[in-house]
Structure 1
């Protein structure tokens, strides 16, 4: 649905900072036809007489019942072709899991019809969970990767879509790039196609779907391949996404494959792949020297707690990363992770931080406020959009979700009570902050009844009423 001038009324919640969550119980947010927030009213400020001229005939969208508006989630790391394998990781660790589950499935997306089937379902699924921006890994196949980008463009989801590069002997013969030249050629072809979806927006840096250079991870690529991809980044200015220090066995493999490098991070740095536009997934076992290098280069981290637990990779020291001055967001890492929901990752991030706290002390714990920041403003900063999305401020885009919570009504007779829709029960005596807590710890996609990207309604449930 095309955006129109709209006023969104009712409670809204967003992160002011890493530590502070603003909860407004009575509010109004005016969004223009371009999907940009033009005014915000809180409490006693709410009223037509205080609004700018020209908003008298604006549409109104109100939160009905218990609920609130919340910024759209940013998923900074996921693998779209692995969606059918969600929840399938058996007893394997990272390297075995790639060979057993991942490579066979990804290779099958040489069939465009198969890719269309998987990608269409996955994009709809991520939108249903309130994910308005998503960093997608594709496969080595250009047609399938281009379809994923086109799909996101048509559905209205912000996305960074990358054709995966993998040319080393670690990758099976049936699923790898033919060589360095082919990897670079196919990556360039995909970059050009994705930018052609919105040529003017791409020139201005305003396109909602953008290409991202994607060396799978260091063991999957030769030094020459990574160096050429670094050159492609400098030529095109496209973002970069890859993995780092996810698993201890992987780190040892990197040492064997790249003996002239001083660290895993140094492998990428030597190739020109460690930049302010680089997203590094996992970062579970970084050394102090690597943290300093990543901070110096301005690269960002995607924390994927569910995947790191599922594959027994470890518990990333998020508090240490944040205190080092490194920007961190959250990623679902499908299908190492078991859910496409960033709200689920908020919970998992809290649990992982508490696992670390059992050994490192309470300072390692992440709060509800902090994980919601990572899920929104943190993720926005990871993809370089912190001035445009992640919160509700005048001049920012309306990337938002309407959250609705179930109200428990007592029956007139014993046994008359019925379960409300969704997993969150509100009895009426909870404070506004407690309602948010209940959503964070118990909510799911059933509570997300509508989703907007840049003012465009991109997902709605049957129960949604404008």
Structure 2
């Protein structure tokens, strides 16, 4: 049985212009788009479809993509926002993550975060969990049960942590291999294991190289952090004096690939931009946490200029909102702030942040052949956005064009 959605559609094919279709008919069969008609008429082969006709004030858009979120940190949202990154990690994050040795605690929190992100329109998420394999397996099972596309990482760390929240190199690699196998046993194409060294501060080169070998062996995604905070960058340079810069550490460990997503990238050098572009690495732009943890401002335009794909991350709980709509707004504000002290900087606009939240995120994950916009043959990964909700700031006080409704969705939307 197929299904045909009829109504307004908004999506992107490039980063600087949202494509608007006032009346489209998208037919879906077995989860894939089989036809798209821009005049709103169904083809003969779709006449037996179940018809879903959107109401006035509603439109279809691609599912939102969060390429950097710490599922385990969700209970800490809004806490410690007066502290810089490294102090915040030691004061709030590590004590919380230690609790995930308790499977029942983990199950409760992970159920909540996956349900919450889905309610916020996040159909694809890249999750960091904790060092505990069994509770991370629980996160994978929950995401699978709830139907979210999820890339899930068991965190790795063998140095610079408290004594009861750190791994040996051997155990970290063994547990990661077991986690990879457990995810494969789920046999769910929406759920993938991700190699997840926390960051260079918490992993020595032996562990990083071991993780690089695992990623190569299983052809896995890799996620970690880079150049988020000045204090962090200075610390890393002391830990790895043989490396010219932060990114070179990961490169020496074979962790920079076309399937690598690096969080933040606030203080990357020109040399690093070139390296990341050559390797096909993507950056997860996390504007909310970059601001509230006093880390700095990431210049997305510079990343784009250097040929680096950029998606958006909520970075919960460094970021204080699990909704990618908030990340879009934060990205707009961050770019404006850059322009206040750099008059040559052209601020991002709503077209560009919408792209980053959808097709840009898909390209960052190398999944734009599957998701990110509406094209025949792609998976139907979509939201019905309803601007008629009673308390919505979108309001129905006057008529608006479809593009104006999209603006209101970005600037005023919640879930």
TM-score range, shorter chain: over 0.9
1:74–1:376 Cα contact (<8 Å) kept: yes
For residue 37 of structure 1, report the CA deviation from its aligned partner: 0.5
Q: Normalization by structure 2: what TM-score?
A: 0.98
Q: Is 2:41 aligned against 1:47? A: yes
2:126 to 125, 128, 135: 135
Shift of 1:56: 2.2
1:315 partnered with 2:297: yes
Q: Is the 8 A contact 1:80 1:334 kept in 2?
A: yes
Q: Show structure 1 runs of 5+ residues with no match.
A: 202-206, 408-419, 446-466
Indicate if the aligned counterparts of 2:24 and 2:41 stay in contact, CA closer than 8 A: no
Question: Structure 1 runs of 4+ off > 4 angstroms?
Answer: none
Secondary structure in structure 2 of the residue aligned to 1:364: coil
Q: Aligned-pair distance for 1:41?
A: 1.2
Please tell me whether residue 25 in structure 1 is matched to residue 22 in structure 2.
yes
Say which one has the larger Rg: 1
Which string of whole-angstrom CA distances, capped at 9 and with x for unpartnered residues, describes residues 307-358 of structure 1? Answer: 0001010000111001110000000000000111001100000000000011
Equivalents in 2 of 1:381, 1:315: separation in Å? 22
SS of 1:87's equivalent in the other structure is coil
Supply the distance in 2 between the matched residues of 1:363 and 1:6 (Cα, whole angstroms).
Answer: 45
Structure 2: how far apart are the matches of 1:280 and 1:359? Answer: 26
Could you say what secondary structure the match of 1:315 adopts?
A: coil
Alignment gaps of 5+ in structure 2: none
Is 2:414 the partner of 1:444?
yes
SS of residue matched to 2:222: strand
Q: Give me the whole-angstrom Cα distance separating, in 2, the residues matched to 1:321 and 1:62.
A: 40
- In 2, the alpha carbon distance for the partners of 1:123 and 1:326 equals 29
Partner residue, 1:93: 84
Alpha-carbon deviations, 1:262-288, whole Å to 9, x = none? 100001001111111110000000000
Shift of residue 362, structure 1, vs aligned partner: 5.3
Q: Which residue of 2 aligns with 1:269?
A: 251
Q: CA deviation at 1:52?
A: 4.4
C-alpha separation in 2, matches of 1:367 and 1:361: 16
C-alpha distance in structure 1 between counterparts of 2:59 and 2:81, whole Å: 38
**Aligned with residue 193 of structure 1, among 166, 170, 182:** 182
Contact kept? 1:89, 1:310, Cα under 8 Å = no
> Is the Cα–Cα contact under 8 Å of residues 133 and 159 in structure 1 kept in the other structure?
yes
| Secondary structure of 2:117 counterpart | helix
Cα distance between partner residues in 1 of 2:343 and 2:356? 21
Matched residue of 1:406: which SS? coil
State how far apart, in whole Å, the 1-side matches of 2:382 and 2:194 are: 24
Instruction: State the match for 1:325 in structure 2.
Output: 307
